[in-house]
Chain A
């Protein structure tokens, strides 16, 4: 919590100072009220000083008008401050999350991240505006009220503070217990968010298996846990709030009893007691609020902890201190004895590849043999465990990360489209592209024709993740996006799997016969897609087991040949029949 205050609030001093001053003024004015009441009772009514009446009334009226104006300024500016802080906090958190490596996202649920940047920041935000304001206000009230009370009658004042240590003790206990409760609640909120998020994102699967009831029950369980945690929090509050309230009420009773005795003993005037009584409320109120403030503070500090847990994560993959910026990009990629471990297990071992500018490297292999890991090392989405990956002869870990990624166009096997128009989705490849360039890219990706067939053409809005498009259409749009990027290196990670053979063939032909030669890595399962590659690499269990071009591999009669036969056996049969 402290960190939020120091780092984020101190930036906007002016929005702290103004409302704070307004608050001080307002409180100072409020201090006159009991005094005015005293004059009213002692002098105007008892002393029959009629001439003072108008003055006193004007005073009370004036104070209340000024106080309401000041109150508005105070509230509005604190709200403003808190919204500024919350914007900053959200922005920083968002930026930071973006800078984290793939590995972080592999183990993190979208729902939880949403919960952090949503509910947790909001909790902090609420505290900044409301909690801080009330806290400061009450502190001031408490301090001034005690000063005044001590001035009026220090003995009475001491008596009125007698319950204070007990109240403070309960506040401390409350803080200790409720802090943990809120942490649990915050975690549970993230779980709830994640469960709901997953269910809604996977609703098609749920329906396909008619598992609605199962899902509802699952959510109900989480919901019930959340209920229990909230009840736990309520129980803690119930155990502390009323006691604190009782103690604060007791102190006023003690004051009146003792004060009464003093008046009876004629050591105190009745008016003074009435006045003292008036200021007493200013003292009691903050004491009562203490529990409430502790509660709000604990809640937001639990959230702040969660936020800073993320903020404190150092992005593992980032620019090295003296990152090299290449002047000219050729697009040569080398793997030198690369090994890669994920969760302490080797996914790739001793990989050596040389891709000269303009060459195409095809990668084949069984599912899980390490194909995707291999290509994701090129864009430094993960760092190698051993050996190195070189881009134009430079170890990519020494390269400027942004420059590296700008020169690689990566189409992943998970196609992801944003819920925007098709045009905007393709444009991500190059923000400044002209419409013609976009059309050109789409034509190359064999997407132009089907896009034009839509009623709104390129302006067609795609549903989230490309809902409404077939798998093949999504893949072609994401390939067009990569083509538009015009990078020296293109990676197609099984990105043509949902295309029919003809389209795939056409698309690859367009790519290979482009005017600019780009280095291409292609992962595919169909012989037709890899046949023309300069080198075909066959992976098995993270090792290269076969390599060469189409012809040499066929001659070798190894794995590649086997795949070839499987895919073409009936074609040959068919040819025999027909011809």
Chain B
């Protein structure tokens, strides 16, 4: 490992591994350093990897014997909650059974590990089979700079040098801050904390309860009392014989609530409707992680500089537009684009900011920054109090009237709706909310 690398990738999560795969396939010589015992050992996500991106990175991945993912999604549900009821929008489609899948549910400790094996295979087929490496269990402590240009990394006493560095260290982006692309202190305003449990069931019980068939799976998001008044929402994803169940809570709102995240999670699980859904499970892991809300104001000042690029959640590429919580697909695509930019720079023999700027251009031309820009209104909208409190209350209240048959003269639906609206809000407030929502989506 004496010679200089074309690129050093810091972090073996989805962004880093996608970059590595792209570099291997383009015959670049690289070193990927991961601080966990293996890729995925330190990583947490909800987690659905949305979109078809993986089928491009690992063609026909679904034919792999143990393909690293838990289930593919053909069933989606959005649930509004109040104290005693739930009201869901439910969509399931056979067309979602077709490959490439529209989304897969993953557990990062398994998925990232699997993806790293795929990268190893790509390295073996490259010109640098003996000179490119995935190095786990090493913590990068510093990006080495020379005259404002990133030239290598330091891990303990050891130093490694490269023409370029891709920082893919995740949301807690200490090195992005060290190289000056992000402020030293990032305030909590645009951040949330996710807390999650892995709950195990007998596989047959799980499949029957959630109407799963083969590898099909369901994603369910929750808004309303799930969060006890704290800004945020809940999630439930079906894995092979477990579910991923948890909450994403705005840090500021949580701070001001006086509630603790694990207590809110207990209340969510004890909700009268959820209690039945979760019955009989055994918690086998508890995890938590900071996550950006998708507000672009938390993004680094820039995502490239002389000799260095920032990819994935280190660049705060994440979004919850209400349709889906996206982050891993952004990580994958930004990792690929960062690596493509490095490959071009290698051809030009120029790794200066002037060349690496193309990374930003590519990202702006892609769905990642296009969507993040287009849906900033939706991000803002979802974080309004009406959306996570008023609307779920109103919807459930209406449900209670609409679905109850009392054997007495029944009011027209319009009157029921009017009653629910007046109880929780006003037509004027709802009109404003509706307009805002329509514009943002």
- Is A bound to B? no
